[in-house]
Amino acid sequence: MAEDSEANHCFLQLRQIHKRFGGVHALRGVDLALELGQAYHLLGENGCGKSTVIKVMSGAIAPTEGEIVLNGESFSALTPIQSLAAGIETVYQDLSLIPNLSVAENVALSEQLVHGEGRLARRLDRNQLRVTASTALASVGLPTTRTFLTTAVSDLPLAQRQLVAIARAIATKAKLVIMDEPTTSLTRREVENLIEVVARLRADNIAVLFVTHKLDECYRIGGHAIVFRDGECVAQGPLSSYSKADIAELMTGRKIDAHRYRAGKPAEEKLLAVQGLTAAPNFFDVEFSLRKGEILGITGLADSGRNELALAISGVRPADAGSIAVGGAAARIRHPSDSIRHGIGYVPENRLDEGLFLEKSILDNEIALVVARLANAWGVIDDGKGRDIAAGVARDMRLNTTDIDMPVGSLSGGNQQRVLIGRWLTIEPKILLLHGPTVGVDVGSKDTIYRAIQVLAERGIGLIVISDDLPELLQNCDRILVMNGGRFVADLDASRATEEDIYRAMLASTPETVQ
């Protein structure tokens, strides 16, 4: 690469950046050059150094070695304020919004903070705040009414929050907007809107760096691919010159194809029968059944009622009416403990907030559901039995470690997810409800999670997979039920259906899709 000639119009350059955390060599001599007005896609498996390199750019961490050239000026490390002042704005997955502050404050306070070089003993210019916020909000297509400006961000729907975060980047006159997995929790329609916003940013000569797992979206946005593996940048170039398979191979260092994982067949025996299940206003009169060893996919837009349905079956938020029968007998599910008693396991979408004890060991996490059973008459936990169970699960779920005393927080996202699924195996479930099983998980881990799902089905467990990831459903399920407006609108054979079929059912003439 002709670094010196590029340096003239390069906005940000990283030269031979190394970062060590204790004994871990997270970045091994990374060279990157980002130009204004371009879109970049930073791709790589979890733990490959993607987030570390972003943090180096945003000033959150200082590299151990190397040089950062920003606007032609050389730094050995950036501070957050230096990075912001130069126009590097990071939209983290959690969006970095302050929930209790208003939309206007979230969008436009940073501008005043950066302008004052971080000094806090300054008058707040409320007119300026309003003007800046309105301009920035208008450019991402959000309302600029007084009511909207003063709404607390915590009262906004997620997709709007994302746009608020981008509006903040615009308000601080960002030159480079880094987006960390921006589309993970958005519906297809919201993703469309985001893609439009990105095009507008590029037209304004702003560079955009995406960190993502969703290759389809990368191709739709276009631009450059930057592929990381093991702390090194293994490829950099126009996306169009790589195929999906190329990128997957570069990321993992091995070949992964998008084959159908589902090989088995469900048994005849009915495990679960749901009839007339209703929880107004989210879903109405839902009816379906699940057979032994069957993998049933459920999808729909975020507001289709699919999430509420999952919560109703798992007892987290019980339905108002209707019946659920497990193994032919009526089951009254009013609380998560009811569903556990009936052998229904629920792996929530948000593993960090709702499922795992990150600072606890794999062992403790795996046996969390069966602790009572491990206790002897004196209430003392049989440690040996617990270890056997946890080790068995670790093996079944193909965790990448055999050290079950390791804290779960130190595992990669994919392994954490496997710990969470594995925990439910300890109650020997009849039915397992997986909600977004591969959200935020890299390609390699997806593969092992899919294999694990198939193994569970082979053992006769009935699985319900609720997901946005259509290829995932097509590759893994027997049937796919599509929810729309709180009702099932399609029951598709996954071996024959296409993504287009599913989209059509998902989007079909609900009031919201009418433009």
Partner 1 sequence: MTLFPIEKTGAAERDAGDRLSIGGFVRRHPETVTAAMLVAICVAVAILNPDFLQPSSLIDIVRASVVTGLFALGVFVILAAGGIDVSFTAIAALTMYSITLLTTRYAPGLPMILVLVLAVGGGMLLGMFNGLLVYNFAVPAMIVTIGTQYLFRGILLAFVGTVWIMALPEQMLTFGRAPMVQFANSNGAVVTLPLYVLVLPAAAVLTWWILNRTLMGRAIFAMGGSARVAERLGYNLRTVHLFVFGFAGALAGLAGIIHVCSNRLANPFDLVGTEINVIAAVVLGGARITGGTGTVIGTLLGVLLVTVINNVLVMVGIPSTWQRFVVGTFILLAAAFFVVRQRRT
User: Which residues of this protein are in contact with partner 1, per CB under 8 A?
Assistant: 58, 60, 80-81, 84, 90, 92-94, 96-101, 105, 109-110, 112-114, 116, 118-124, 126, 147, 151, 155-160, 185, 282, 302-303, 307-308, 311, 317, 349-350, 352-353
Q: Residues 170, 174, 175, 177: what is their CA dihedral angle, to the nearest 10 degrees?
A: -80
Gap between the Cα atoms of 169 and 184, Å rounded = 19
Q: Are residues 301 and 187 in contact, defined by beta-carbon separation less than 8 angstroms? A: yes
Residue closer to partner 1, measured from CB, 121 or 380: 121
Least Å distance between CB 403 and partner 1?
28
Residue closer to partner 1, measured from CB, 120 or 377: 120
Contacts 24+ apart (CB under 8 A), 154-163: 154/99, 154/100, 156/103, 158/185, 158/186, 158/302, 159/186, 159/187, 159/190, 159/193, 161/95, 161/97, 162/91, 162/95, 162/186, 162/190, 162/194, 163/193, 163/194, 163/197
Least Å distance between CB 130 and partner 1?
14
Gap between the Cα atoms of 357 and 379, Å rounded = 22
| 9: amino acid identity, one letter | H
Question: Any bridge partners for residue 283, and if so which?
Answer: 279
Q: Are residues 167 and 137 in contact, defined by beta-carbon separation less than 8 angstroms? A: yes
Least Å distance between CB 337 and partner 1?
20
Residue closer to partner 1, measured from CB, 116 or 471: 116
Least Å distance between CB 455 and partner 1?
28
Other beta carbons within 10 angstroms of residue 255's beta carbon come to: 8
Residue closer to partner 1, measured from CB, 105 or 478: 105
Least Å distance between CB 97 and partner 1?
7
Least Å distance between CB 247 and partner 1?
26
| 214: amino acid identity, one letter | K
| 389: amino acid identity, one letter | I
Query: Residue 98: helix, strand or coil by DSSP?
Result: coil
Q: Residues 388, 394, 400, 404: what is their CA dihedral angle, to the nearest 10 degrees?
A: -40
Gap between the Cα atoms of 262 and 480, Å rounded = 13
Least Å distance between CB 350 and partner 1?
5
Residue closer to partner 1, measured from CB, 126 or 220: 126
Residue closer to partner 1, measured from CB, 2 or 120: 120
Least Å distance between CB 112 and partner 1?
6
Gap between the Cα atoms of 193 and 25, Å rounded = 38
Residue closer to partner 1, measured from CB, 119 or 496: 119
Q: Are residues 296 and 289 in contact, defined by beta-carbon separation less than 8 angstroms? A: no
Least Å distance between CB 90 and partner 1?
8
Strand order in the sheet with 329-331: 283-291, 270-279, 321-326, 329-331
Residue closer to partner 1, measured from CB, 116 or 328: 116
Question: Any bridge partners for residue 10, and if so which?
Answer: 35
Residue closer to partner 1, measured from CB, 109 or 225: 109
Residue closer to partner 1, measured from CB, 448 or 467: 467
Gap between the Cα atoms of 419 and 439, Å rounded = 15
Least Å distance between CB 194 and partner 1?
15
Tokens of 394: 């670790």
Gap between the Cα atoms of 502 and 488, Å rounded = 12
